[in-house]
Amino acid sequence: MSAPSVSKAALERKFIECGERDRMKELLLQRLRESGWVEEVENMCRNCIQNKGIEQVTLEDVLSDVRVRARRAVPDEVKRELMHCIRSFLQQQSGINDL
């Protein structure tokens, strides 16, 4: 039996329209706060600003300095939980069970 054909665009539209994207964003923010990640990234930003000087630093400077380290600092458990939520949504919407 072949898997149902569901387009990526249709899944993305459903993901947004049903509010699942907003729910997952809220869950992500909650988990990042609980894990201390938000505070850690705020400290990275403060350090960057202090090191470069408030008068010389730009938003681009802070982003380029912090972006990669901040992404690496996301706890694996948070990544796993969010991926589980996304897989569950996709399986439910597409009927494909082996994602």
- The structure's pTM equals 0.81
**76/61 Cα distance (integer angstroms):** 27
Entry field: residues in the chain:
99
Cβ–Cβ < 8 Å for 81, 31:
yes
Say if residue 97's pLDDT is above 60. yes
pLDDT in tens, 29-84: 999 999 999 999 999 999 999 999 999 999 999 999 999 999 999 999 999 999 99
Distances (CA, A) of 49 to 38, 40, 55, 74: 17, 14, 9, 22
Token code pair at residue 56: 């010389």
Q: What is the CATH number of domain 8-94?
A: 1.10.246.140
**85/63 Cα distance (integer angstroms):** 28
Closest CA to 82 of 38, 35, 31: 31
Token code pair at residue 14: 């459903």
